[in-house]
Amino acid sequence: MRCRFMIVKSRILLVVIVFSFILGSFILLYSFLLTPVNRNNEQALFEITSGKSIGDIAIDLKAQGLIKSVNAFKLHVKLHDIYNLKMGTYELTDSMSAKEIANKIQLGDVIYPNKVKITFPEGLTLLEMANILSEQMDYSTEYIINAWNHPKFLEEVISNFSYITEDIKNTGISYPLNGYLFPETYIFPNKNIPPEDVAWIMLSKMESVLSEYSYLIDNQDLSIHELLTLASIIEYEAMIDEDRPLISGVFHNRLNINMKLDSCATLQMALGVHKEIYNNLDTQIDSPYNTYLTSGLPIGPGNSPGMKSIVAALKPTKHSYYYFLSDIYGDNTVYYSETIDQHNLYKNKYLK
């Protein structure tokens, strides 16, 4: 009898252990599925219309990449008696947990319908940014540019942002804040927000991005102005992300031996127009942006570089290349060379 009792007791213990393991695994998985999708803090507008069920809302959240699991969200809502999910438009981010999203929707923390969402792609000039802003705001491009270029505003910017210096006022710079407004998707409160406030928000975002990489910035020789200038060249030259650090390495190699950068990106800055192929006459234009005539970096950024180009400028690939070209008539493959002779061979093969 004692033997049978021990067997039954062992089986019960085994069942308890297995059940505990399954329950523990479920709880861990459930908890994981409620965590944020990622940490990019990317903003998204999410709308709940009349008649939407909790299941519908969960499916829509998953479709927008705001939650990891439809079922985990529905279970969380059910376990916490969250049934009164209010309709309206919500401002969410992919860094919010499913719990935070559910609480925000339950509270009815909706945004005002007149908010404006604007995306500024990487590589835009300040003028192009002003054009995009003008299309959705109650201001002309000229008004926006004048506001961003106003000496009093620029002094306020320099006084309030430690990473911005008098370098933005260098003689010959087309637009002082060119390259400093971080390209991203922004949600502004209304169409009447002053252009200065828009710039302030974008400058604050750039400050945040740079502070994230302060450990790299503090251990290299470029000033922030020079860093953004180099990053803007990389932004123009690189077609794919894999080439950014390699191209950065080419420019760093040239800077290290005081060799002219000879970058077509700086010809676009100098000429104010984009061309697939620049001719010898273009390379002779008298401009502080033209790196075919002047050594070192140009006087300022020519566009607004994204995070990947900024990081590439800070973390160049170490190699012995001093030249590169893109097969613009083919698949845009970039060919790197150590010597001018090899570079010319590639040029004759791919650019003729």
Distance CA 111, CA 275 (A): 43
- Summarised one tens digit per residue, pLDDT across range 262-287 is 998 898 888 887 777 788 888 899 99
What distances in angstroms separate CA 192 from CA 47, 126, 197, 204, 281, one per listed residue? 23, 20, 10, 20, 45
Distance CA 18, CA 141 (A): 67
Q: Is the pLDDT of residue 2 over 60?
A: no
Distance CA 315, CA 95 (A): 26
pLDDT of residue 271: 86
- For residue 8, what are the contacts with CB-CB under 8 A and spacing of at least 6? none
- In the chain, % of residues over pLDDT 90: 54
- Summarised one tens digit per residue, pLDDT across range 204-221 is 999 999 999 999 998 889
Q: Is the pLDDT of residue 346 over 70?
A: yes
Q: Is the pLDDT of residue 252 over 70?
A: yes
**Residue 1: band (very low, low, confident or very high) from pLDDT cuts 50, 70, 90:** low
Provide long-range contacts, Cβ within 8 A and 24+ apart, for 26-32.
Answer: 30/72, 30/75, 32/68
Tokens linked to 89: 């438009």
Q: Give me the mean pLDDT over the 127-155 stretch.
A: 96
Question: CB–CB of 267/292 below 8 Å?
Answer: yes
More confident residue, 45 or 236: 236
Beta bridge partners of 45: 91
pTM, entire model: 0.70
Q: What is the mean pLDDT of the chain?
A: 89
Which of the residue ranges 158-162, 186-190, 329-333 has the most confident prediction, judged by mean pLDDT?
A: 158-162
DSSP output for 16-42: HHHHHHHHHHHHHHHHHHTS-S-SS--
pLDDT of residue 20: 65
- For residue 309, what are the contacts with CB-CB under 8 A and spacing of at least 6? 122, 231, 232, 234, 235, 238, 244
pLDDT of residue 115: 79
- For residue 265, what are the contacts with CB-CB under 8 A and spacing of at least 6? 232, 233, 235, 236, 237, 302
Tokens linked to 139: 């201001």
pLDDT of residue 200: 96
Tokens linked to 35: 């965590």
DSSP output for 130-152: HHHHHHHSSS-HHHHHHHHH-HH
Short-list 275, 264, 130, 121, CA closest to 185: 121
Least confident of 2-16, 60-74, 147-161, 334-348: 2-16
Tokens linked to 350: 């791919």
pLDDT of residue 278: 82
pLDDT of residue 17: 72
Tokens linked to 299: 């006087």
1.10.1740.10, 3.40.50.300, 3.30.1490.480, 1.10.10.10: which CATH number matches 43-107?
Answer: 3.30.1490.480
pLDDT of residue 302: 93
Q: Where are the domains of the chain?
A: 43-107, 116-212, 216-350
Helix residue ranges per DSSP H, the chain = 2-33, 54-63, 70-79, 98-107, 126-136, 141-149, 151-160, 195-212, 214-217, 224-237, 243-256, 264-271, 307-314, 340-350
Q: Give me the mean pLDDT over the 327-351 stretch.
A: 89
Q: Give me the mean pLDDT over the 87-102 stretch.
A: 87
Q: Is the pLDDT of residue 229 over 70?
A: yes
Question: CB–CB of 337/324 below 8 Å?
Answer: yes
pLDDT of residue 257: 96
pLDDT of residue 176: 97
pLDDT of residue 187: 86
- In the chain, % of residues over pLDDT 70: 93
